[in-house]
Amino acid sequence: MKEKLEYPLSKLPNDNENAGRKFGFYTSDKLAQLFDTNNTCFQKYPEIFLADLLGLCAGARTTAAITLQFGDFKQVDGIWYIHFRKNDKHKRLKNPATERKWPISKQLIEWGLVDLILQKKKAVHAAVTDFIFARTVFFLSAEKHRIQKNNTSNNRTKFDPATKFFGPQKTYMSNEIGIKDTDDTIYAFHAFRHTANRTAKAVGIDKEMRNHLIGWEGETTPEKFYSDYTPEEIKENADKMYYPEEVLHLEAWKPVIHDLYLHSEKISKKRGKYKPKIKTD
C-alpha cells in the first residue's frame, strides 16, 4: 500500500505573501538564458523543466503545477486537456477562475507532453490520483515525517514544498545567469504566469479569453461568471500560445527531458554542478 500523504498544501502561504513587491515577467532574453541547453538545473531536475512549461503555456500557479495528478490529463472529444482542480486536499486554488480545463497547446502536443505523461503513468503503474512529479511526493512525505518526529503541526508554513520544489532553479537563476529579485520585483515561478499573460496578449488573444485560458478572475460580472466559448474556440486560442525555438530550445531539450523524466535512475545524485551521462541502449 502506498504511503498516505497527510500534509495539505492548502496550509502554505499565499502567492502574494511578499507584500509591497510584485512578480515580474520573463523577457525573451531572460527565457533564452534560462532555457539554454547548458542549464545544469534542468539536466538534474527535469520535473522543474516540465513545470516551467506549464507556467509559461497554461499560466499555471505554483501549487497547481506541482500537484497535478495523472488523472488531470484527459481527452474529451478529441481535445487533450489539463484539468486544474481541487479534487485533492494537497491542492489549492486561489479563486474559482483558477479551476479550469486547459486545452493543451499545439506546441506542447507536438513536443510530446501528453505522450510523455502517458508513458510515465504506464512505466510506474500509477493510479489516476498519483502526482505526476516525484519531487512533490518526496517533499510532502518529508514534511509528514517532520511533523510526526516533532509531534507537532505548528509552524508548518516554515516548510514549503512548493518553494523546495523550485529551490534549485531559484539558486541557478541567481548564481549562474544573474536573474535575481530586486527591491520591488520577484522572479519566481509565479512570474511565468505573468509571462504567459503577456504572451497571450502579444499573439492577439483578447482579455476575456486570456482570463479563461490562464485562470485570471475577471473584473466584471460577465468576465467572472460567464463564458460562451466553445471548446473549439478555446483550443484555437490556446494553440496561439507559442514560444520560438531560439527562446525555449524545446526540440533540443526534448530527448534529454523525456529520457530523464522516464528514467530517473540516469540522473546523478551527486551534489553541485554536473553533466548527466545519458545511457543509451
The model's pLDDT over 39-65, given as tens digits with 9 standing for 90+, comes to: 999 999 999 999 999 999 999 999 899
Q: How far apart are CA 9 and CA 228, in angstroms?
A: 33
Integer angstrom CA distances of residue 49 from 38, 54, 152:
13, 9, 34
Contact 80, 138 (CB under 8 A): no
Percent above pLDDT 70 for the chain: 76
What DSSP character marks residue 69? Answer: B
The rounded mean pLDDT for the chain is: 83
How much is the pLDDT for 270?
Answer: 62
Taken in order 176, 52, 238, 227, the sign of the CA dihedral is negative
Q: What is the pLDDT of residue 183?
A: 87
Q: Is the pLDDT of residue 34 over 50?
A: yes
Q: What is the distance of C-alpha 61 from the center of its chain?
A: 7
Q: How far apart are CA 207 and CA 223, in angstroms?
A: 9
Residue 69 amino acid letter: Q
Question: Which pLDDT value is given to residue 72?
Answer: 97
Q: pLDDT tens digit string along 78-126?
A: 999 999 999 888 887 777 777 899 999 999 999 999 999 999 999 999 9
In one-letter notation, the amino acid at residue 248 is L
**pLDDT exceeds 90 at position 137:** no
Distance in angstroms (rounded) separating the CA atoms of residues 53 and 178: 21
Position 274 confidence tier, pLDDT thresholds 50, 70, 90: very low
Residues 54 and 117: beta-carbon distance below 8 Å:
no
Judge whether residue 16 has pLDDT over 70: no
CA distance 267 to 258: 12
pLDDT of 167 higher than 80: yes
- pLDDT at 99 (0 to 100): 87
Q: Is 274 helix (H, G, I), strand (E, B) or coil?
A: coil
Q: What is the pLDDT of residue 222?
A: 44
203-259 tens-digit pLDDT: 999 999 999 999 877 665 444 444 678 999 999 999 999 999 999 999 999 999 999
Give 83's strand partners. 101
Per DSSP, helices labelled H in 74-229 are 106-111, 113-123, 134-150, 161-176, 190-202, 207-214, 221-225
Confidence of residue 17 (pLDDT cuts 50, 70, 90): very low
What is the arrangement of strands in the sheet containing 100-103, beginning at the earlier edge strand?
Answer: 73-76, 79-84, 100-103
Amino acid at position 3, single letter = E
Q: How large is the C-alpha radius of gyration of the chain?
A: 19
Per-residue confidence band for 146, with pLDDT thresholds at 50, 70 and 90 = low
Share of the chain above pLDDT 90, in %: 61
